[in-house]
Chain A
Amino acid sequence: MKTLVADETPAAPALQSQAHWDGLAARGRRDRQVRSGLLVAFLVTVSLPILLPYFWMFTIALSARTGGVESIVLWRACAILVPAVVAIGALNLVLHRPMAKLYGASAVIVLAGVAIAWSIGPELHLDNFAFLSNPNFVQDLEGRRQATVESQFPSVWTAFFNSLVLATVQTVMVLGVSTLAAYYLSRFNFAGRASFLQALLVLHAFPAMTLIIPIFLMMYWIGLLDTLTGVILVITTLELPFAVFIMKGFFDAVPWDIEMSALSDGASRRQAFWYVVLPQVRVGLLAVGVFSFIKGWEEYVFVRTLLFDKQNWVMSLYIFWVSEDIMGVDYGAVAAVAVFYVMPSLLLYLFCQKYLTQMTLGGIKG
């Protein structure tokens, strides 16, 4: 400490006065506040371009009316929310007691809520979500009469259910296969293990798009073209190399000792895996599960290529055809479908992020 002071003020007397120390302490506090203020400002600047499109999507879905794109609601909402966020940040810096922070933030939120209700409340409506109950909504929007059989959309719930089946079954298969494969790769030595691991990496680096035509032909010959089963198999296969690699990393981190300990405690190899090893990699299971679910949920290229029948549409195809059929007519409807589409993965992520960010494995050593 002493040398530090001496470095900064070479002419300082040997005995420092209390005022000198107080000055240094005040400077330290000020520097800390400036640093954290700059950090917050930087993070806000970086996240704005990411958050703004989502926010825009929500406002359009809730406010746009047939025939036009109203950006006034967006600007008004921004004009209220941006100062509100800045105010909360500033309060956080200025106030020190936790209760004061809480009261300050709540006051700002209430104020912003009132302002939003007053300025854009009358503009908000749910008409754009008509697609949830009316399969004929595209024709209704365009002012056409009852759709022909060919142009009739399937119910959005059919597409939703198909997407759910695709993502869930795919996730279960990826989890099952990658867990067993990764455990074997992590724990057992066999001929060709090293080249297998290298092949996994190469497979992951390989652009899947280049495989579309061969996969299409294979699906055609096998007879799985235009079936969900076919798409599930294709996406599972493409997801596996990465999932195996991630899971192998998690298994590698589980010490041999606890497995040997389980064996000598009377467990069979399978019981040791199930009761002792698998619980250690549950964060990995969750991560791989969430990522492959979201991958299945957002998949577009392969479903576009391999599925034709309207009854086989998944959500990505549904939103594509909605925008294709009514583009230039109603952004509100497209945005509403987009909100509906994004909700499940958003909820899944919000629910799991707590577990994904706390990647602790518990204490094994003292």
Chain B
Amino acid sequence: MARIELDRVAKRWGDVTAVEPTDLAIADGEFVAVLGPSGCGKSTTLFMLAGIYAPSEGSIRFDAAVVNDVEARHRNVGIVFQSYALYPHMTVAKNIRFPLRFRGVQGADAERRVREAAALVRVDDLLERMPGQLSGGQQQRVALARALVKEPQLLLLDEPLSNLDATLRLAMRSEIKTLQRKLGVTTVLVTHDQIEATTMADRIICMAKGTIQQIGTADDLYRRPASLFVAGFIGSPPMNLVGGEAAGGRLRVGDRDLEVSAASGPVVLGIRPEHLTLGAPGMPGEVVDVEPMGREALYVVDTPLGRIRALAPAQATGPRIGEGTTFRVDDTDALLFDAASEALLPDARIGFGP
């Protein structure tokens, strides 16, 4: 178990910067998710923690000791790869035992630890099988056992669930989370799936274009996204983002003038689809499309603010395509971003009127 610190860590490949100088601290035993679209530098960060890539600048510290030049094999870091990366020519038992041979653990001691690790992820009845004979979920568990058998001070999970089918993903999500709580191992999960990040991790690090956009709990990222990127990336269906111009206490969006405070110049108005109340007295709109999604339905509505998506309970009596409707937005639910810096204007208040 270790406390991990990144101090101005950056990675460059020639002229290309994969990770801009980054500061980060992960507490001992914490479960952190690095969330971002592909190419945002999250895997590079992971491989720098593992010691497979050396950072171009800055320092990585495990428990206050700088480990920049410590080789991957000496870092005692467990990794579960997206492809699981099991050794195809070894049985499950030999796969799990592989890390032990380099730690001088032998004989009955090694046997016992392999069995314990296998039992932990419930693959102890598969020990003599070859990886090719296992299902995706079983391979995933074996990879986890192999990462845990060395009692790592840091566990890295690189998109561990993306090759599983939906049902299995749901099961493994809670299983990994429970296991991490039980063992108390510091864990970094890299993923592009916000559900994975929000359901499993204590804290989420949202990355884009090689920089950290925001660090916080799932709730923080959802309620107070620090930038336009986080606002658009977190939440499904995504937040409505409409451009506007603020001047002298008025905000011009579409052909509506709204009240605004603490904002001026070009801005972006953000409203989550679930914060629009369809049918309540307020602004008029016309339903362009309805997408039923089971419990709820997504309404695409043309409003004076522009085209907006609204999430409402699916009901037979709801407005149909082509019909007019009205909607209301609570003033506290709307967010305002600066269009130039893409940052949240935290003090801005919007009034949608009666």
Contacts and interface: CB of A to CB of B under 8 A. Distances in A.
Contacts of B284: none
A264 B51 contact: yes
A15 interface: no
Contacts, number: 95
B188 to A, nearest CB: 13
Nearest to A363: B132
Interface stretch (A178-186, A252-260, A284-292, A341-349): A252-260
Contacts of A263: 51-52, 71-73
A266 B132 contact: no
A106 interface: no
Contacts of B139: 363, 366
Contacts of A261: 79, 81, 85, 87
Interface in A199-258: 255, 257-258
Contacts of B51: 263-264
B88 A260 contact: no
Interface residues of A, number: 23
Interface string B131-148: 111111111100000100
B189 interface: no
B134 A265 contact: no
B131 A362 contact: yes
Nearest to B77: A264
Contact of B78 (A264, A361, A366): A264
A366 B140 contact: yes
Interface in B137-167: 137-140, 146, 150, 163-164
Nearest to B158: A257
A279 interface: yes
Interface size of B as a range:
35 or more
Residue of A260, A361, A365, A366 most packed against chain B (CB within 10 A):
A366
B86 A364 contact: yes
A85 B4 CA distance: 73
A366 B84 contact: yes
Contacts of B72: 260, 263-264
B163 A365 contact: yes
Interface in A334-366: 361-366
B87 A258 contact: yes
Contacts of A366: 84, 134-140, 163-164
B88 A280 contact: yes
A109 interface: no
Residue of B83, B87, B99, B134 most packed against chain A (CB within 10 A):
B87
A240 B99 CA distance: 35
Contact of B131 (A266, A275, A280, A363): A363
A257 B50 CA distance: 13
A258 B73 contact: no
Contacts of A258: 85-88
B131 A260 contact: no
A362 B52 contact: no
Nearest to B135: A366
B75 interface: yes
Contact of B85 (A266, A268, A279, A364): A364
Contacts of A108: none
B42 to A, nearest CB: 16
Contacts of B101: 266
Contacts of A265: 73, 98-99, 102, 146, 150
12 contacts: A258-B87, A260-B52, A260-B85, A264-B73, A275-B87, A362-B89, A362-B132, A363-B88, A363-B130, A364-B84, A364-B85, A366-B135
Interface of A: 255, 257-258, 260-268, 271, 275-276, 279-280, 361-366
Given A258-B86, A261-B81, 19 more contacts: A255-B85, A257-B82, A257-B85, A260-B72, A261-B87, A263-B72, A264-B77, A264-B79, A265-B98, A265-B99, A266-B103, A267-B102, A268-B73, A361-B88, A363-B131, A364-B131, A365-B163, A366-B163, A366-B164
The 8 closest A-B pairs by CB, nearest first: A363-B132, A366-B136, A266-B102, A362-B88, A257-B85, A265-B99, A261-B85, A279-B89
